Chains A and B, each alone.
Chain A
Amino acid sequence: MQYLAAGLRLPTNGLDYTILAIYFIVVLGIGFAARASVKTSLDFFLSGRSLPAWVTGLAFVAANLGATEILGMSATGAQYGVAVVHWYWIGAIPAMVFLGLVMMPFYYGSKVRSVPEFLLQRFDKSAHLLASVLFAFAAVLIAGVNLYALSIVVEALLGWPQWVAIVVAGLFVLAYITIGGLSSAIYNEVLQFFVILAALIPLTILGLKRVGGWDGLTSSLKTSHGDNFLSAWGGTGIGQANPLGANWLTIVLGLGFVLSFGYWTTNFAEVQRALSAKNLSAARRTPLIAAFPKMFIVFLVMIPGLVAAVLVPKIGTPGSDLTYNDAIPMLMQELLPNGVLGIAVTGLLAAFMAGMAANVSSFNTVFTYDIWAKYVKKDQPDGYYLKFGRLITAIGVLASIGTAFIASSFSNIMGYLQTLFSFFNVPMFVVFVIGMFWKRASVKSGVWGLFAGTTAAMVNYFWIYKQGVVSIPTDQGANFVSAIVGFVAGAVVMVLVTLFTAPKPASELAGLVYGTKSPGVEEPPAEGDAAWYRRPALLGWGAIALAALCYVPYSF
């Protein structure tokens, strides 16, 4: 994992550091101020299910807008060109809308406190335990990898030694989550969202100005990289060659359907934001509100990537000392004067910490509610789980600090592990949709679907692709194909197992399966939720239509 090249040291001065210091103080202040609201474990892990939709919606985007995502997607832009829009318009929006319109009533209405807890309600303990343990491991690992990436970037840009960056950022995250719980994490994510915009918008504008505007950008790239570099679908016919190494079918099915639905609808670090909303309407609107900024953020990462490809045509090739990941830091160094530079550095650090915090705040919830309270220490008073939650948060952060140090010496192993865990997301989605839409799907089919899907995706990736049994041009393309294979295998095995095992009694499925309702009191709609601009269907279909429109200028 070589993130940044040497020689990118930023000319930061006292002004920039003042801006950074103010941010760190505010981050801690939010933690302490949120402390007064933490009375029960539900306050600590899910903000007492009380937040307004715009807050949870922005946190939903920000939890995904970590710095690895920002640097990574602008790198994708510099490498593959306009095709990076697929990760947003087809690879995020439809899944987010599906989560809000279709799945959220089951998640929020059934009052589960985590994604694995839904599996326990719908299937059985084996599916639940498998999903909980894997999620907990993956969350700590990803938090550690985030921390390690942060340390490399901070070392390159600011010249701090890696261990200082790892320890300082880790301890800040530890402090504000242990003290203020999820409310503190979510509030910081909302703040980070705006700081990141304040950093990326000036960078994008100046970058465009540097290469002669959009027209200058496109004409330079057409000459140097060819027409397909500026088209979303150019060269993606089946059998044609394109830099992405994927055709339209694997993009639509693999990325747009399986991978993106797996990530956005079953990754608890995301879904948790919606579960902390104050009522069902706000929970449904969470991913829908998030869809709108998500759709346009792509311009703020793609354009810097494209600009970098113009300024350094050899970027990322063996002849250049700049890697694709350097696109944004390089533009920061070249274009931003002190002041905005401080905002940009703050934005990047904030994004790294928020990316880590999202994982830590979902890890502690799953570990406490799903592992500890269900299998280790059952039926304790709520105060016990609140205390335990704080303890496990600290342990989780220390474990990810450890992971970050391990990653700095064995980075290949970490990359490998991440790929491995990513294959687990795929069958999660198949198990969830089948579980939610097919009443007959049996209790045992859950865990077998998870097993079969994961195994099939891994076999396809590590054996069929890596050993060259079938040739697929790039890792990216192979990833898409593996996702489709995992999905199909999971679905087939679930159906087969269901045919031979007993269904769940209908009385226990209320509120968990399509066409049933949770018993319990209907909550009255909150005042103002009937306003037209708050109607989930309008927001959802509006987002889909807008994303489709966005494709038009890049498709012909």
Chain B
Amino acid sequence: MSELQREVTELERKSASAARLFDIRRIIGGLFTLYGVIVGGAGVFASSADLKKAQGVNINLWTGLGMLALGLFFLVWLKLRPTAPPTPGE
């Protein structure tokens, strides 16, 4: 093994990312669920001016629903396949 490979292998052994880094699915899921509710809510109470501007499409409602679905997808995925527990022995 070259010197570089020894050094990096050693750093990989000491690294804490695999064990301690949180799962991004939780953040994406949470943020998009929240955004979905906010934007979708704006769609439920859309004014006629809003509708007219968006070519007659209730774009807030649809975008909100889409974002909500994405957020829930990530939360469900996280629930079904949780992060592997860190390997003991550190």
Contact = CB atoms under 8 A, between A and B. Distances in A.
A, B assembled together:
yes
Interface of A: 15, 18-19, 22-23, 26, 29-30, 33-34, 36-43, 47-51, 55, 110-113, 117, 121, 183, 187, 190-191, 194, 198, 201-202, 205-206, 209-210, 278, 334-340, 342-343, 382, 508, 518-520
B15 A40 contact: yes
Nearest to A385: B11
Interface in B24-68: 24, 27-28, 31-32, 34-35, 38-39, 42-43, 46, 49-51, 53-57, 59-60, 62-64, 66-67
**Interface of B (DSSP majority class):** helix
Contact of B59 (A36, A51, A206): A206
Contact of A37 (B20, B24, B46, B53): B20
A29 B28 CA distance: 12
Interface string B62-90: 11101100100000000000000000000
A30 B9 contact: no
A6 B11 CA distance: 52
A206 B11 contact: no
A37 B12 contact: no
Given A41-B11, A47-B17, A198-B35, A191 B54 contact: no
Interface string B8-19: 110110111111
A202 to B, nearest CB: 5
B22 A34 contact: yes
B2 A339 contact: no
B55 A190 contact: no
A174 B90 CA distance: 31
Contacts of B38: 15, 18-19, 339
A23 B34 CA distance: 11
B5 A110 contact: yes
A206 B55 contact: yes
Contact of B15 (A30, A48, A334): A48
Given A22-B31, A198-B35, A343-B35, A49 B15 contact: yes
Contact of B16 (A30, A39, A335): A39
Contact of B4 (A39, A48, A121, A342): A121
Given A15-B38, A337-B59, A382-B11, A30 B28 contact: no
Given A37-B16, A210-B55, A55 B24 contact: yes
A187 B5 contact: no
A357 to B, nearest CB: 15
Contacts of A337: 42, 46, 49-51, 53-54, 59-60
Contacts of B70: 194, 198
